[in-house]
């Protein structure tokens, strides 16, 4: 197994991680970014972004590619591998194919989609239950779909699927949609919205045929797109770092954790606003102070 040394090691190549890598590399630090899936992270799940400075509108995938190109051009190395072990005291990260030693660590592993939590959900994930319309919406052309959730992501999914599916229905667990009003205003009036409801049962044997709601309503559906928030990817840091009661990493204004030299950025951090622009800001701050920590 290879052994690699660097000044700044970044876990995650989403907007926070890529920005952190960009800033660290430009500061002259030997920088490595480890990503287990695909560069860009959850930004790839957003069809259109209209609130990122510098672009009237850009797809999430395109923005992720541009960030990756800029970070690599600055000199940061991207390694695609899976983290299997973490030793913060020895400042070492073990992956499937290499060991990485670092002086400062920036954790930017983001968050994963929250699941419905109903029976047989796991049986249908990827074949009836999805978390990304842009990724899987094409399979539901002229079919009926349910969007679960009421925030920006849910309404964006509904807008996107309205151009593909025959019928789109939104189900939200509170008495209103919480998405930005500009998004809500774009919803087709034909979209049926069920409020103060949750999905209690998935209907179908080998494929989804519909759902049942907590108010007793049954709705026919071929697919379900779940957009009810995210769960921080902090499982490997439990008992290693201070986490909030919801599992997010607690940082100070420098994005530093309770362990000196260990920083966090992006959706994994305990904060109120989670947007691409705030993830980038976190990454810039974390890299700036990670660099300062090394130079002390």
- Rounded CA-CA distance 15/170 in Å is 29
Q: Specify whether 132 is catalytic.
A: yes
Whether residues 132 and 272 fall in one domain: no
Whether residues 95 and 77 fall in one domain: yes
Whether residues 234 and 184 fall in one domain: no
Whether residues 172 and 264 fall in one domain: no
Pairing label, strands 111-113, 230-232: antiparallel
**Statement: residue 47 has pLDDT above 80:** no
The confidence score (pLDDT) of residue 46 equals 76
Quick: pLDDT tens for 208-240.
999 999 999 999 999 999 999 889 999 999 999
The range of the structural domain enclosing residue 48 comes to 2-112+230-295
Q: Which of 226, 246, 275 is the last residue of a domain?
A: 226
Q: Which residue among 6, 7, 95, 132 is the active-site one?
A: 132
Whole-structure pTM value: 0.81
Scanning the structure block, which residue is given the tokens 């939590």? 117
Q: Specify whether 188 is catalytic.
A: no
User: Residue 145 is part of a domain; what is its CATH number?
Assistant: 3.50.50.60
Whether residues 243 and 98 fall in one domain: yes
Which candidate, 71, 151, 150, places its Cα nearest to that of 108?
71
Whether residues 102 and 241 fall in one domain: yes
Quick: pLDDT tens for 174-201.
999 999 999 999 999 999 999 999 999 9
Q: Which residue among 87, 135, 188, 252 is the active-site one?
A: 135
Whether residues 158 and 198 fall in one domain: yes
Whether residues 216 and 122 fall in one domain: yes
Q: Specify whether 95 is catalytic.
A: no
CB 189 within 8 A of CB 205: no
Count of the separate structural domains present in the chain? 2
Quick: pLDDT tens for 112-147.
889 999 999 999 998 899 998 877 898 999 999 999
- Rounded CA-CA distance 43/67 in Å is 11
Quick: pLDDT tens for 247-266.
999 999 999 999 999 999 99
Whether residues 148 and 290 fall in one domain: no
């Amino acid at each position: 197994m290879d052994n690699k040394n660097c000044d700044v090691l970044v876990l995650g190549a989403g907007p926070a991680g890529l920005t952190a890598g960009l800033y660290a590399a430009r500061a002259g630090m030997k920088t490595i970014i480890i990503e287990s899936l695909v560069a860009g992270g959850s930004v790839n799940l957003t069809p259109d972004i209209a609130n990122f400075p510098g672009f009237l509108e850009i797809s999430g995938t395109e923005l992720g590619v541009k960030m990756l190109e800029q970070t690599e051009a600055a000199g940061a190395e991207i390694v695609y591998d899976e983290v299997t072990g973490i030793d913060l005291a020895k400042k070492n990260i073990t992956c499937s194919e290499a060991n990485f030693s670092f002086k400062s660590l920036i954790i930017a592993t983001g968050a994963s989609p929250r699941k419905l939590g109903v029976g047989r959900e796991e049986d249908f994930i990827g074949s009836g239950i999805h978390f990304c319309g842009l990724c899987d919406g094409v399979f539901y052309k002229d079919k009926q779909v349910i969007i679960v959730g009421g925030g920006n992501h849910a309404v964006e999914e509904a807008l996107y699927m309205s151009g593909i599916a025959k019928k789109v229905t939104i189900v939200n667990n509170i008495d209103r949609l919480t998405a930005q009003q500009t998004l809500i205003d774009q919803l087709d009036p034909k979209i049926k919205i069920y409020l103060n409801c949750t999905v209690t049962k998935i209907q179908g044997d080998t494929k989804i045929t519909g759902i049942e709601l907590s108010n007793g309503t049954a709705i026919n559906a071929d697919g379900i797109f779940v957009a009810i928030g995210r769960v921080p990817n902090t499982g490997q840091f439990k008992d290693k770092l201070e986490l909030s009661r919801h599992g997010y990493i607690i940082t100070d204004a420098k994005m530093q954790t309770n362990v000196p030299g260990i920083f966090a950025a992006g959706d994994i951090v305990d904060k109120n606003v989670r947007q691409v622009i705030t993830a980038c800001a976190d990454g810039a701050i974390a890299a700036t102070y990670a660099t300062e920590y090394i130079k002390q």
